[in-house]
Structure 1
Amino acid sequence: MNDYPKIRSFIADWFARFDRLDPIEAFLEDLHPDVDWDMPDVDATLTGHARVRAWYTDVVATLQRPTEHHVSKIKVTPGATEFEVLFRATTVSGEHIEARVQENWRFDTRPDGRPLITVHSAKLLQEADT
């Protein structure tokens, strides 16, 4: 049985980049230009990379470095993956945030085996005051 080690490694790297709040360019290369980016609090009139940029600009302006993403319950199938993320962060105003999120991705597989994300969806499962 193939547990898709390249996909699992990619997910770990992806969230390590988010923990550091790397520049947006570190993410765009792994997102299809017309990616369906389904995230809360994003201008719904924007699409693809423009939508991701708008979301990430707000993230970087709102959160202190580093953030924490703990990924669990990873399920990979051909062209798709789903998993849970426990997210922890502190805002620039000092508020602590903790949330559990369900992520669902669809992707094309590049020649090197790494995914190119075509659909990215994140849905809040639970939010906690810390």
Structure 2
Amino acid sequence: MTDYPEIRGFIADWFARFDRLDPIDAFLPDLHPDVEWDTPDIDTALGGHDRVRAWYRVVLETLQRPTEHHVSKIVVKPGAAQFEVLFRATTVAGDLIEASVQEDWRFETRPDGRPLITHYSAKFLQEADT
């Protein structure tokens, strides 16, 4: 049985990019062009990379750098990963936010072992303003 270190490393790198709020171009190469992007408050008329861009535009307009993502309870299987993320950030208005999120990914494995995400789901477990 494998512990999938390449997938776990990818997850850590993915959220390090979100902590820095890297440009959208840092994420799109790791997302299938037709990725199913299932996150709260996104225009459901959009699909694939367009939907991701719309979501991330709101993120960049709403949050200050840096943000914090603490990943736990990672379970990786061939073509899928599930884990929890504790998210903390400060809005541009100065409000502190904290949320626990359940992430569910499906992916294809590229020849170098890195995932190409085909389905990305993030659902709130709890949300509390601090």
Q: TM-score, normalised by structure 2?
A: 0.99
Q: Which runs of 5+ in 1 are unaligned?
A: none
Write the distance in 1 (CA, Å) between the matches of 2:24 and 2:41.
18
Write the distance in 1 (CA, Å) between the matches of 2:19 and 2:98.
14
- 2:37 maps to a residue whose letter is W
- Give 1:82 shift: 0.1
Pairwise mapping of residues 15-54 of structure 1 onto structure 2 (< 5 A)? 15-54=15-54
Q: Which residue of 1 aligns with 2:66?
A: 66
Q: Which residue of 2 aligns with 1:2?
A: 2
Write the distance in 2 (CA, Å) between the matches of 1:105 and 1:29.
16
Q: CA RMSD in A?
A: 0.3
Q: TM-score, normalised by structure 1?
A: 0.99
- Give 1:45 shift: 0.1
Q: Which residue of 2 aligns with 1:92?
A: 92
Aligned length: 130
Runs of 4+ aligned residues of structure 1 deviating over 2 Å after TM superposition are: none
* CA distances 1:8-65 after superposition (whole Å, capped 9, x unpaired): 0000000000000000000000000000000101000000000000000000000000
